[in-house]
Amino acid sequence: MRYWLMKSEPDEASIDDLARAPQRILPWTGVRNYQARNFMRDTMQVGDGVLFYHSSCPEPGIAGFAEVASMAYPDPTQFDPRSPYFDPKATHETPRWQLVDVVFKQKIALLSLAVLHAHPALAQMQVLARGNRLSITPVTPAEWRYITQQLAVPA
């Protein structure tokens, strides 16, 4: 089993949206970074743990836990000219972008960047690295355990 931090803008898909979704599952659409796409396409497995991270908002941070619920498949937004994620170079025969579905597990009290920075056990987390902009980053088993066992408080 692997662990991931997956960023979403809460205006687009929040932990609450995931909790309210049918069967508590949402497709992780709109990823347009090749490294993040490759994590989904090549490495993620059903059952992998997900730290659901709210980004590009007044207080970014980990808002809850989810789990990878599907293997990667083509992101349909790449084919929709009305979507902000439309890619005119993508075709149904050769899709460029993939997604996975995620399933809700638990909402927690927000773990802000300041909170994460305050814990030396998390000092190497990729989300805390200067200049990190990736929407999906690996999380080590030790980081996962520390967050889930030491920091997480149900909301």
Domain of 110, CATH number, reads 3.10.590.10
Please count the structural domains in the chain: 1
> What is the pLDDT tens value at each position of the chain, 155 positions in all?
999 999 999 999 999 999 999 999 999 999 999 999 999 999 999 999 999 999 999 999 999 999 999 999 999 999 999 999 999 999 999 999 999 999 999 999 999 999 999 999 999 999 999 888 899 999 999 999 999 999 989 88
Task: Give the Cα separation of 62 and 53 in Å (integer).
Answer: 4
Range of the domain at 122: 3-151
Q: Is 96 exposed, middle or buried (CB count within 10 Å of its CB: 0-12, 13-18, 19+)? A: middle
CA Rg value for the chain: 15
Task: Give the Cα separation of 9 and 59 in Å (integer).
Answer: 11
